[in-house]
A and B are shown apart, each in its own frame.
Chain A
Amino acid sequence: MASAIPKIQVLSLYKSLMKESKKFSNYNFRLYALRRIRDAFKESKLLTDPKLIKKEFEYGKQNLEIIQRQVVVGNMYQTEKLVIENVR
């Protein structure tokens, strides 16, 4: 992701996505989001077509909004923690 979007904006989007995803109260959603975002950015690093890069960037921005909303919804209906979260 070099030409279409300044690197600093991409990095900032990545950081916001990760920061928001950490707020998911649901263990599975939280870990999936973190893994998916990391892998998506790794994959998109190889993109060269500016149009595609822009599209992916917009998709990331949309997802940031979704995550922000869903974190709020998830926090309203929290459940007991999973067995695996209590182990450590």
Chain B
Amino acid sequence: MFRVIKNLPPVLCKHLLQRSVHQENAILMFVQTKNLQTDSANERFSLKHEEVGRPLYFDAQATTPIDPRVLDAMLPYLVSYHGNPHSRTHAYGWESEAGVEKAREQVANLIGADPKEIIFTSGATESNNISVKGVAHFYAPRKKHIVTTQIEHKCVLDSCRALEGEGFKITYLPVGANGIICLQELEKALTPETSLVSIMTINNEIGVQQPVTEIGAICKSKKIFFHTDAAQAVGKIPLDVNSMYIDLMSISGHKIYGPKGVGALYIRRRPRVRVEPIQSGGGQERGMRSGTVPTPLVVGLGAACELAQREMAYDHAWMEKLANRFLDKIYTKLTHVIRNGDPKQTYPGCVNLSFAYVEGESLLMALKDVALSSGSACTSASLEPSYVLRAIGTDEDLAHSSIRFGLGRFTTIEEVDYTAEKTIRHVERLREMSPLWEMVQEGVDIKTIQWSQH
């Protein structure tokens, strides 16, 4: 907006400053369209005629906004009921405790568990830490082996790395080109020494869904505990800890339109899974996670879970509709677009695309009126290609050109159309500038070129 003002003659600027914002916008748009008509030669490369306003949110895998219905459930506990839920001696404690216990029930209902099997944590990262390190440490004298995959979330991989330092053996299972693990390889990796298998339900970067039931059944038959990081799956696909043979499950609040800073961990009671707590303290949450339970956040998580259960089918249908619409638009206009991850066994709200011959970061910069990410938020500061994409065997150049489009409950059709149109425009623009793209158009196979080394 300011850039355009700078380009105007100073006299006009003076006029502009005296006008209301509304008029200003109208004039700006007029000037912009006029600019467009005169500079038609530069139009294709120009970034100038961008609209004004907050970017659209397309990063639902990083976090989601709090649903107003969730906030409405939380507000009483932020404003009126401040008691410590562990205070047993007065009404302030009792009312908070009632809120926490109701939330525990809501979380349990969503995954088919018993409320006693739910403990509240600060988020999926803590749940994953308690699961991986807790189980490993508790069963350490006899079993010192853990199986996980190469595409787990950083917090699981880092917990495993820490355990490796303590002398545990870790197997990092590879995944196929579609991002799914091979069940035979899993079975081969299991030994009598194995205490835990930790495999995420839905991947946060490429959205692929692992065959959780089958994995659970294998683990059960070998009497090995099965932990799944379901932060991206809970509330989005039907999950049942009993029919899927899940022993531990990590849940996150802010991925399901709940508040940040709260999560839950499901720990099976029969047969009992024991963990060594990470945090020492007052012994809250059955001694597994000491520290006062944050009542408002937990109530929000509970409300978000109940809502997710109610809205699951509706939301899922909407995700599918939006994702198909988006992909149709992209595929009809652009060639050389690769979808990362299995197109069938996937959560439709996570669309990870690689645009060949376009550098991902420059596309992200060009698409600045859409909030997007090239991968997980944890690693979005670095220019390194994602380890998940490397694990599925994506070529270095394609891994650099990937973008994750995260759709959510509140995404509209208009937003999808806008984003698709902008993406198409900028991919075309960037390819137009790329010498590689020119060579591809001329029929040169880039892979056969011997680049001279300096």
Task: Of the listed stretches A9-17, A45-53, A68-76, name the one at the interface; the rest are far from the partner chain.
Answer: A68-76
A63 within 8 A of B: yes
A82 touching B53 in the complex, CB below 8 Å, given contacts A28-B65, A28-B410, A32-B410: yes
Take A69-B72, A83-B56 as given contacts and tell me if A28 and B51 are in contact as well, using a CB distance cutoff of 8 Å.
no
Check B68 against A86 for contact (C-beta < 8 Å): no
Could you tell me which residues of chain B, from 39 to 71, have a CB within 8 Å of some CB in chain A?
51-57, 65, 68-69, 71
Question: Smallest CB–CB gap between B293 and chain A, Å?
Answer: 24
Q: What DSSP secondary structure best describes chain A's contact surface?
A: helix
Which B residues, 244 to 287, have Cβ-Cβ distances below 8 Å to chain A? none
Q: Interface code A13-31, partner B: CB below 8 Å = 1, 0 otherwise? A: 0000000000010011101
- How many residues on chain A are close to B (CB under 8 Å)? 24
- Total number of B residues with any Cβ neighbor in A under 8 Å: 24
B411 touches A (CB below 8 Å): yes
Q: A28-B65, A28-B412, A39-B314 are in contact. Are A84 and B72 (CB under 8 A)?
A: no
Q: Indicate if B95 sits at the interface (CB-CB under 8 A).
A: no
Chain A nearest Cβ from B4, distance in angstroms: 14
Q: How far is the CB of A70 from chain B (nearest CB, A)?
A: 4
CB-defined contacts of B65 to chain A, threshold 8 Å:
28
A74 to B411, CA, bound (A): 18
A24 vs B411: C-alpha distance when bound (angstroms): 15
- Complex partner residue of A70 from B54, B68, B314, B370, CB under 8 angstroms: B68
Whether A83 touches B72, Cβ cut-off 8 Å, given contacts A28-B410, A29-B410, A32-B410, is no
List of A residues within 8 angstroms of B51 by Cβ: 83, 86-87
Q: Judge whether B172 is part of the interface by a CB distance below 8 angstroms.
A: no
On chain B, the residues within 8 Å of A31 by CB distance are 410, 412
A28 & B57 in contact (Cβ 8 Å cutoff): yes
Would A66 and B72 be within 8 Å (CB), given that A83-B53, A84-B418 are in contact?
yes
At the interface, yes or no: B445 with Cβ under 8 Å from chain A?
A: no
Contact status B57-A81, CB under 8 Å: no
A55-B53 Cα distance, complex, nearest whole Å: 41
A86 to B49, CA, bound (A): 13
A79 & B71 in contact (Cβ 8 Å cutoff) = no
Expressed in whole angstroms, the minimum distance between the Cβ of A76 and any Cβ of chain B is: 12
Contact A28/B411 with A39-B314, A70-B71, A70-B72 known, Cβ cut-off 8 Å: yes
On whether the beta carbons of B52 and A84 are closer than 8 Å, the reply is no
Answer yes or no: A67 CB below 8 A from chain B CBs. yes
Q: By the criterion CB–CB under 8 Å, are A83 and B54 in contact?
A: yes
The interface residues of chain B lying within 8 Å CB-to-CB of A32 are 409-410, 412
Residues of B within 8 Å of A83, CB to CB, are 51-56, 369-370, 418
Residue numbers in B under 8 Å from A39 (CB-CB): 314
B395 / chain A contacts, CB cutoff of 8 Å: none
A: residues with CB less than 8 A from B are 24, 27-29, 31-32, 36, 39, 63, 66-67, 69-70, 73-74, 79-87
A-B contact pairs, 19 of them (CB 8 A): A24-B68, A28-B57, A28-B410, A29-B68, A29-B410, A36-B314, A66-B72, A69-B75, A70-B69, A80-B54, A83-B51, A83-B52, A83-B54, A83-B56, A83-B370, A84-B418, A86-B25, A86-B51, A86-B53
